Structure 1
């Protein structure tokens, strides 16, 4: 009884620590390191692989691990995109839970999972526990926790703890994307997003074009691609030779070209200086099988404003109201366009201002459009 109570107290302490991360002003890598320290003993894992994600699509756009060798990470990308496996990040996200154990979903027969057969077991691990970090409609990251076979399968209480932890980690990663504040993956804590709300300046940075062959081997680049690859480098070195976001976009394009359902062929990703880019991938016609072009272009307001509104924790309806304000609509316009009573619009405005930390429409527009300046 005392041992069980001790575990419960340790789990509660871990959750309290995770809850505080949303206001700590940490970059993503620091969020992950702190979460590792808080969760390792209570979840009883031996290795973890952390990811940030494009909040809109849920596609992984970076990788971070202090435990694992990522020299064969191309295999992980391939399996994640192509294998119709159990307990994938998208399936967990759509299942209504935030965390799932491979042992539970396979009913104690993890060998049913291609991921287990080709990666987890050969690496010397037993059960895997995956979690998705959703908050306010966006998936801000995810993680896979592996344990050695002698620890046995993850217990129900550990899955429940991971589910609770995932909610707080979603809020912590969401806070990393607040315009004009917080920090981004790969930067020092407290470094604000560069430029207007993290947008790249098209006059300074043109499109970067990259051509990938089989296995996502880089065949050629043009424009500012080499500089961009350095600024989009993952927190942990992998065997890919390019940032994970590019490989994910390329594999999604190949999947779509085969007539298979693909979540997206474009991925949003944030550079070290805080600027956002959109990666568009498409197969090369008339080229060797598997060759794909990825074009990285500076992200503009259409791509980033919904992200920032979500980062402030606005509901879907509040985001609709805020976007109309940014476009110059007044209360009557918003009331008419959204079929709301004027007093309902005002209630939404009060909530939007409170969550964004502003007192007026002008301040809100400045916060969203100028990254907090003005």
Structure 2
């Protein structure tokens, strides 16, 4: 079986040169797995751990463009299928083989019928990149009907690859990034019809979408990341918007929010509307703390500390002793590489809160501008 060639030029992670970029980490994880578990079709995707929506990745060796609208509808709109990403995120195991999950009855699975079968594929192996209960990415490997089937050994190899790859990806996403150019802060606007066809992309939205860390074929689809969010919003019964936080090539974060709305009021033509805005610092603090590998309790206490609460006050709020709070914070300091609460707050302030000062040479999201 001959796997499609993996184009790694310019994306190999480089050891000893600081924290790698997220796409480098994702590419390295996929490359390593594909050496041991070859595939005819594959993709590697970054995910927003809060919403499990696509936030960039490698799609060049993935499914044909004609399959993608239906794939996003199944994955993020209908959210059906035994190995849907949301079902996988809830499981203890990180790897899953569709033929096993369906009990060998692939024909009854909508994802197999509508996506794999038309592509001439016989089975799909999925690997969720999980770290501390959060899912940060997904590796998808498929084999054609004429290829050798996946084995139990392949599944075990994929399972072992999940945790280290997830930890590296989380760190690369959250703990690195210096801007070297000035960028606008204005929101962008995108509108689409219920069938998914995009009808309008504002100039600023086009700028933001060009910054998404995503590699794919030239398919005519604006981005797979945006398509995933639009698909999720289109099939929701709630009018509340859905959102995904997306890391850009520059190291900044973008929030894509989408909702459905009847133009002209009730009875008007229904459209799906998306806004693209720089993520607010307060929305990133929890993510950044997660990037250091803090436990849920350590993150909770650290966020109270960031808000200026005293240890005794935090203890009263959580119903624990002040000494317990102090013990948790010692672990927080060790994991974040600081010595005290002042340094912890300064670290987050420097990364995400300096933009309110609007004083060059700082970028608009608080990272130091490159010289």
Match of 2:73 in 1: 78
Choose the corresponding residue for 2:168, options 165, 172, 175: 172
In 2, are the aligned partners of 1:70 and 1:238 still within 8 Å (CA)? no
- Secondary structure of the structure 2 residue equivalent to 1:328: coil
Q: CA shift at 1:164, angstroms?
A: 1.7
Q: Deviations over 1:315-352 (max 9, x none)?
A: 11000111111111122222222222121111111111
Distance 1:341 1:272, change over 3 A: same
Q: CA shift at 1:365, angstroms?
A: 1.0
| Structure 1 spans left out of the alignment, 5+ residues | 1-19, 182-191
Match of 2:33 in 1: 39
TM-score scaled to structure 2, two decimals?
A: 0.82
**Higher RCO (CA < 8 A, seq sep 6+):** 1
Q: Which runs of 4+ in 1 moved over 3 A?
A: 20-24, 150-153, 286-290
Q: Distance in 2 between matches of 1:245 and 1:67?
A: 16
Distance 1:148 1:241, change over 3 A: closer
* Greater per-residue strand proportion: 2
Q: CA shift at 1:244, angstroms?
A: 2.2
Q: CA shift at 1:45, angstroms?
A: 2.3
Match of 1:57 in 2: 51
Q: CA shift at 1:117, angstroms?
A: 1.7
Match of 2:330 in 1: 350
Match of 2:62 in 1: 68
Q: Deviations over 1:155-191 (max 9, x none)?
A: 2222122122111211111111233x3xxxxxxxxxx
Root-mean-square deviation (Å): 2.8
Match of 1:283 in 2: 260
Q: Deviations over 1:56-89 (max 9, x none)?
A: 2222222413423542222221221225212111
Which range is displaced more, 129-138 or 208-217? 208-217
Choose the corresponding residue for 1:244, options 196, 213, 224: 224
Match of 2:313 in 1: 333
Q: CA shift at 1:275, angstroms?
A: 1.3
Q: CA shift at 1:267, angstroms?
A: 1.1
Q: Distance in 2 between matches of 1:31 and 1:364?
A: 26
Distance 1:122 1:169, change over 3 A: same
TM-score scaled to structure 1, two decimals?
A: 0.81
Q: Distance in 2 between matches of 1:327 and 1:346?
A: 16
In 2, are the aligned partners of 1:74 and 1:239 still within 8 Å (CA)? no
Tell me how many residue pairs correspond in the alignment.
335
In 1, are the aligned partners of 2:298 and 2:332 still within 8 Å (CA)? yes
Q: Distance in 2 between matches of 1:126 and 1:136?
A: 32
Match of 2:215 in 1: 235
Distance 1:150 1:127, change over 3 A: same
Distance 1:326 1:223, change over 3 A: farther
Match of 1:322 in 2: 302
- Secondary structure of the structure 1 residue equivalent to 2:221: coil
- Secondary structure of the structure 2 residue equivalent to 1:211: strand
- Please state if 1:29 is matched with 2:23: yes
Q: Distance in 1 between matches of 2:333 and 2:217?
A: 41
Q: CA shift at 1:34, angstroms?
A: 2.0
Match of 2:363 in 1: none
Choose the corresponding residue for 2:292, options 305, 312, 336: 312
